[in-house]
């Protein structure tokens, strides 16, 4: 049982407000946002925090509220290769939530950042308790992944 106090109500209201400003959630109704909000956590991370490393088990994702994160791969010479940078409104960690494989890259906080966290357990709960909201969320994840893949394909085409 969750005991609601003024701090919880204020935090839930803030998370809902954040969701209304993220393009990812623009198709969600007010009631769906209310429901989904209760499954998210708001976290602050200082610069240089490693959110997850390549090959970690992927059981959560983040939405960037404020700040910037880098997606990195370690090269043979142990210098990281920055393969992407994401800012406000972007989602990171979603691939492992979809395919249930380990992380494909390391993600590091570039500047102090505030992030929304969704765990696999919470996501599974959404899908079981409210399948329509879960489906809408998955459809948006698929759309975002498709857009990223198209951009990547375009970059490779430019190199050819």
Residues, the chain, total? 160
Q: Spell out the domain ranges in the chain.
A: 6-153
* Secondary structure (DSSP) of 9-61: HHHHHHHHHHHHHSGGGTT--HHHHHHHHTT-EEEEE-TT-EEE-TTS---EE
Residue 1's pLDDT band (boundaries 50, 70, 90)? very low
At residue 29, does pLDDT exceed 60? yes
Distance, in Å, from the CA atom of 144 to the CA atom of 126, rounded to the nearest integer, reads: 20
At residue 4, does pLDDT exceed 60? no
| pLDDT for res 101 | 87
Q: What is the pLDDT of residues 55-88, one digit of tens each?
A: 999 899 999 999 999 999 987 777 888 999 999 9
Q: What is the pLDDT of residues 111-152, one digit of tens each?
A: 999 999 999 999 999 999 999 999 999 999 989 888 878 876
Distance, in Å, from the CA atom of 73 to the CA atom of 115, rounded to the nearest integer, reads: 22
Distance, in Å, from the CA atom of 57 to the CA atom of 131, rounded to the nearest integer, reads: 25
* Prediction pTM value: 0.85
| pLDDT for res 5 | 55
At residue 157, does pLDDT exceed 70? no
CATH 2.60.120.10 describes domain 6-153: yes
Strands 60-74 and 50-52: unpaired
């Amino acid at each position: 049982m969750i005991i609601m106090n003024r701090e919880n109500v204020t935090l839930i209201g803030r998370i809902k407000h954040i969701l209304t400003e993220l393009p990812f959630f623009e198709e969600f109704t007010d009631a769906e946002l209310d429901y989904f909000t209760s499954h998210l956590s708001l976290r602050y991370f200082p610069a240089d925090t490693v959110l997850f490393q390549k090959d970690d088990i992927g059981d959560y994702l983040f939405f960037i509220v404020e700040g910037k994160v880098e997606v990195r791969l370690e090269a043979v010479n142990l210098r990281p290769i920055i393969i992407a940078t994401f800012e406000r409104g972007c989602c990171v960690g979603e691939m492992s939530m979809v395919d249930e494989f380990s992380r494909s890259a390391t993600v590091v906080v570039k500047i102090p950042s505030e992030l929304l966290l969704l765990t696999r357990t919470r996501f599974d709960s959404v899908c079981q308790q409210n399948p329509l909201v879960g489906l809408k969320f998955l459809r948006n994840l698929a759309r975002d992944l498709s857009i990223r893949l198209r951009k990547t394909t375009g970059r490779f085409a430019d190199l050819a």
